[in-house]
Structure 1
Amino acid sequence: QRLGLSPATIGLDRRALRLGRVLKGPEHRTLRGLALDQVRARLKEVSRAHLARELGVSSSAVYRYCGKVGLSRP
């Protein structure tokens, strides 16, 4: 934004330089709008499969999210 460049331009430049994607840290990742703390709290009450059904996503999406943020089953 400071340079006056669009995110698309930055993305093309990163790809050309083979830098890959910039990943958000675990504390900034969300699962269908739920923050890490919200997911953690919900998983204390329901299974990952149940959470997936609630959010309308696949169970594997919930498992992948949990793996990426280091959230293991309590």
Structure 2
Amino acid sequence: MGAILDRFGTDVIIQKTDREHFRIRQEVAVSGQFFGWLVGLGAGVRIVSPQNVVDAMEHRLEEILGRSESPV
């Protein structure tokens, strides 16, 4: 939660979904930097919509995985 508040401020709308999870709805600038920030938060964070941003995140992760499999 702290990383969300640090990034978006206290005006972000937070919806508690259960005892351990919450959901936010926030307009963002979709960019490599945004995806990198999400990856830094780990597996506990995911994009659920809009679908084009979900797809872009998946594509970005596939690119990263593809690079890690090639020889250095």
- Normalised TM-score (structure 1): 0.31
**More helix by proportion, 1 or 2?**
1
Structure of higher CA gyration radius:
1
**More strand by proportion, 1 or 2?**
2
- Normalised TM-score (structure 2): 0.32
